Amino acid sequence: MTLPPGTPDLAVLDLLVSVADTGSLGAAARRHGMSQPAASMRISALERRLRLRLLDRGPTGSTLTDAGGAVVAAARTVLDAALSFNTTVSALHSADAPRLRIAASKTIADHRIPQWLAALRGLRPDIAVSLEVDNTAQVEAMVRAGEADLGFVEGPHPPPDLGGRVLGADELLLVVGTTHPWATRTDPVTVRELAATPLLWRESGSGTRDTVWEILGAHGPPAPPAAELGSAVAIVAAARAGVAPAVLSSLVAAPELAAGTLHRVALSDSVVLNRQFRVIWRRGTPPTGPAELLVRCATHS
C-alpha cells in the first residue's frame, strides 16, 4: 500500500485537533511547544496541501469550517490508530525485555533496594524489575513458591532450605522518646533488664523481631510486648510518643536521632544487637543473568 501524494503528517493533524479542542491557535501552539506564528504557518500549509479552508480565524479565536470539522473527525481516527500502533510496538518491546522479580523485607526495601536498583539500571537499563515488599517470613515464602527470583531479608540465621549470601550487617539500636524515663538515664541497660522490659515489637515473621527475640531469649523469656506493630513507621511514632522503648535498625533510627525526636539508650558491653542482610534464592537454582547482576550490585554497594 502506497500513501497518495500530499498525505499530511501526523504532527500537523495532531496540531489541527488541538486547535479544535482548545478553540485557538495560541492555546494549541502552547500545547505543542511552539510559537503561535509557527502553528499558524503549519495550519496554512495543511490547508494548501488539502486545498481546503479548515479554520475561520478571528480576534477571539479560531473556529472550524465545515470542511475543517470533517478533517478533524477523520484526523482523530488516524491519530487513534497511530496511538494503538505505538502501544502495540511498546508492548512488543516490553515482552522482549529481561524481567526480574524480587521481594524484600521492609527495611531493606526502603533503605537499600533503591541504590541497588539504580546501580543495576546504570548497567542494564533494559531490565524490567518488579518488587514486592513484606516481612522476612513472607519474602522467604515467595522465594520458595517461585513467585520471586530473589529475596532480600534480614534475621539471625539463613533459611535452611534456601540458597543465599550475606550482604552485610545492620546495627540495631535501643531508642526511646524524649519523654521516656530512659531518655535521661546515664547507666547502660543490661540484656537481662532489656529482656524484662515490655518493648515495642514488630509482628511475627519480622527479621528484626526474630533477631532481638533470640538475643533476649537467651536470658529468659522476653516480657510481653508493650505493643505489636506492623511497620517501622508505626514503631517510630509509638516510641516518639513515649509508649515504650523500641529496638530499631540504625537505618530507620538515624533520621529521628539526628532530629532529636528519639534518644539512643546505651547498652552494656555484653549486649550486641545486630542482624545480617541476606539475598536468598531457591536452592539448586543460583542467580543467573539479571538476577546475578543485581546480586553483584548489592554485594559491591
Q: What is the pLDDT of residue 96?
A: 59
Question: Number of structural domains, the chain?
Answer: 2
Q: How confident is the model at residue 83 (pLDDT cuts 50, 70, 90)?
A: confident
Q: How confident is the model at residue 94 (pLDDT cuts 50, 70, 90)?
A: low
Residues 183 and 177: beta-carbon distance below 8 Å? yes
Q: Are residues 87 and 145 in the same domain?
A: no
Q: How confident is the model at residue 207 (pLDDT cuts 50, 70, 90)?
A: confident
Comparing 185 with 84, which gets the higher pLDDT?
A: 185
pLDDT at 150 over 60: yes
Q: Are residues 250 and 123 in the same domain?
A: yes
DSSP state of 181: G
Amino acid identity of residue 94, one-letter, is S
* Separation CA 297–CA 73 (nearest Å): 52
- Is 282 domain-assigned? no
- Among the listed ranges 41-45, 128-132, 157-161, 257-261, which one has the minimum average pLDDT value? 157-161
Amino acid identity of residue 59, one-letter, is P
Q: Indicate the pTM of the whole model.
A: 0.65
Residues 78 and 85: beta-carbon distance below 8 Å? no
Residues in the chain: 301
- Is 287 domain-assigned? no
- Is 290 domain-assigned? no
Q: Are residues 109 and 186 in the same domain?
A: yes
- Is 284 domain-assigned? no
User: Which residue stretches of 99-206 are H helix?
Assistant: 106-111, 113-123, 136-144, 191-195
CATH of the domain at 152: 3.40.190.290
Q: Provide mean pLDDT across the span 119-128.
A: 90
- Is 298 domain-assigned? no
Sequence-separated (6 or more) residues with CB below 8 Å from residue 53: 47, 65, 67, 68
- Is 123 domain-assigned? yes
Q: Are residues 88 and 199 in the same domain?
A: no
Q: How confident is the model at residue 203 (pLDDT cuts 50, 70, 90)?
A: confident
**CA 171 to chain centroid:** 24
> 263-284 pLDDT, tens per residue?
999 998 667 788 889 999 999 8
Q: Distance of CA 215 to CAs 171, 188, 211, 273, Å?
A: 13, 17, 6, 8
CATH of the domain at 75: 1.10.10.10
* DSSP per-residue letters across 50-85: HTS--EEEETTEEEE-HHHHHHHHHHHHHHHHHHHH
Q: Are residues 116 and 242 in the same domain?
A: yes
Q: Provide mean pLDDT across the span 163-191.
A: 93
Residue span of the structural domain in which 217 resides: 103-277
Last residue of a domain, one of 69, 95, 121: 95
Last residue of a domain, one of 95, 112, 146: 95
Q: What is the pLDDT of residue 161?
A: 92
Last residue of a domain, one of 38, 62, 95: 95
* Separation CA 12–CA 16 (nearest Å): 6
Mean per-residue pLDDT over the chain, rounded: 90
Tell me what percent of the residues of the chain surpass a pLDDT of 70: 95
Q: Are residues 31 and 109 in the same domain?
A: no
- Is 73 domain-assigned? yes
Q: Are residues 73 and 205 in the same domain?
A: no
pLDDT at 217 over 80: yes
Q: Are residues 22 and 114 in the same domain?
A: no
> 33-66 pLDDT, tens per residue?
899 999 999 999 999 999 999 998 877 778 899 9
Q: Provide mean pLDDT across the span 115-120.
A: 94
Helix (H) or strand (E) holding 174, with range, is strand 162-177
Q: Are residues 268 and 120 in the same domain?
A: yes
pLDDT at 174 over 90: yes
Q: Are residues 43 and 117 in the same domain?
A: no
Bridge partners (DSSP) listed for residue 130:
101
- Is 181 domain-assigned? yes
Q: Provide mean pLDDT across the span 53-81.
A: 89
Burial status of residue 170 (CB atoms within 10 A of its CB: 0-12, 13-18, 19 or more): buried
Q: What is the pLDDT of residue 298?
A: 93
> 188-201 pLDDT, tens per residue?
999 889 999 999 99
For 196, other C-beta atoms within 10 Å of its C-beta total: 14
Q: What is the pLDDT of residue 95?
A: 56
Q: Are residues 118 and 264 in the same domain?
A: yes
